[in-house]
Amino acid sequence: MSTEQTTRQEWMAALALAPEARLQEAWNRLEAQPQYKVVRGPETGLVMVRGRTGNSGERFNLGEMTVTRCTVNVDEGIMGHAFIGGLSHEHARLAAVFDALLQLPERGEGLRRTLISPLQQERQAYLASRRDEVRPSRVDFFTLVRGEE
């Protein structure tokens, strides 16, 4: 997979996981809001979530998840796509517009610095705080003693 694809996957993940209010704030802060056309959606549907026991076993169907998707075309002819967990059409629309803008050389670098990097840092801080919160209750079953023999 190319570095460009990896980078786009990372910013699409950051946009999908970001609070909708943060995307709305970023949209309102844009100096020149681009014209765009909604090509598809926003529309909501279900996807099957699959899992693996211990992250290595056979795949199994965990359940269904609600997803909203949207595709937009900005003035410059660039397509932006978004898939958002949940029902928010506005979140999907904003994420798709930002995906398109991030692909533009003249806007991409600035948005990566002012929007994507802070979102990724906030997400990492949130995950670290959750890990720290649950760490004291972790049980290591291999160290438990069954009894006197």
- Residue 93 banded pLDDT, cuts 50, 70, 90: very high
Residue 57 confidence (pLDDT): 84
Average pLDDT of 102-120?
88
Q: Give 126-149 pLDDT, tens digit per residue.
A: 889 888 888 888 776 665 566 665
- Burial of residue 122 (CB within 10 Å: 0-12, 13-18, 19+) is middle
Domain ranges of the chain: 3-129
Average pLDDT of 99-127?
89
Residue 146 confidence (pLDDT): 65
Look at the pTM and tell me if it is higher than 0.85.
no
**Which of 16 and 41 is assigned the larger pLDDT?**
16
DSSP H helical segments within the chain, as ranges?
3-17, 20-29, 89-102, 105-111, 117-134
* E strands, the chain, in order: 36-52, 59-74, 79-85
Residue reference for tokens 């809001």: 33
Residue 149 confidence (pLDDT): 58
- Phi/psi of residue 53, nearest 5 degrees: -70, 125
Q: Give 13-35 pLDDT, tens digit per residue.
A: 999 999 999 999 999 999 888 89
Average pLDDT of 49-72?
92
- Residue 107 banded pLDDT, cuts 50, 70, 90: confident
Residue 5 confidence (pLDDT): 59
Q: What is the share, in percent, of the chain residues with pLDDT greater than 70?
A: 89
